[in-house]
């Protein structure tokens, strides 16, 4: 039920199927996904905020699984725990504001081989997130 609500909100936020979201709509979507994943995983908001400052704790299962929740919501991970960067580029170019799309596409391409730990979905997700951050810290876009 939560995911149906999430996708309904995403649908409402996009004015029509071919339009990119505005900055305001993107921010609202990111807040919604962030809050959903924080509640689902039980991570503290402070730990999530630390990632936006470059602190990616690979010893903290909650932060790793939070990142997995985010990437799965955005459909950026495959069932074999790989980074689905090609699909991510399609989605970001179709839906993100131009200001985000350009930097995100570059980061997706730079991080296409960032997963080193395919046997642990949460750790693989954090490897992707850290690569995206390291590629362009000022424009890190995950919630």
Domain count, the chain: 1
User: 83 forms bridges with which residues in the sheet?
Assistant: 77
Range of the domain at 36: 2-7+22-138
Is 16 within the bounds of a domain?
no
The pLDDT of 118-122, averaged and rounded, is 96
Nearest to 69, CA basis, from 98, 115, 113, 34? 34
Is 66 within the bounds of a domain?
yes
Is 12 within the bounds of a domain?
no
User: 85 forms bridges with which residues in the sheet?
Assistant: none
The pLDDT of 73-85, averaged and rounded, is 94
Is 17 within the bounds of a domain?
no
* Tokens 């999430």 belong to residue: 6
Q: What is the pLDDT of residues 88-108, one digit of tens each?
A: 999 889 888 888 888 999 999
The Cα 64–Cα 87 span in angstroms is 22
Is 13 within the bounds of a domain?
no
Q: What is the CATH number of the domain that holds 129?
A: 1.10.238.20
Confidence (pTM): 0.83
């Amino acid at each position: 039920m939560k995911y149906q609500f999430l996708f309904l909100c995403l649908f409402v936020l996009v004015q029509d199927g071919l339009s990119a979201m505005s900055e305001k709509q993107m921010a609202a979507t990111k807040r919604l996904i962030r809050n959903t994943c924080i509640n689902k995983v039980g991570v503290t908001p402070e730990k999530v905020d630390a990632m936006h400052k470059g602190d990616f704790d690979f010893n903290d299962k909650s932060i790793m699984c939070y990142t997995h929740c985010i990437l799965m919501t955005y459909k950026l991970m495959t069932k074999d725990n790989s980074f689905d960067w090609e699909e991510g580029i399609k989605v970001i170019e179709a839906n993100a504001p131009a200001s985000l799309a350009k930097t995100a596409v570059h980061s997706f391409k730079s991080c296409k081989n960032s997963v080193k730990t395919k046997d642990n979905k949460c750790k693989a997700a954090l490897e992707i997130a850290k690569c995206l951050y390291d590629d362009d810290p000022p424009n890190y876009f995950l919630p």
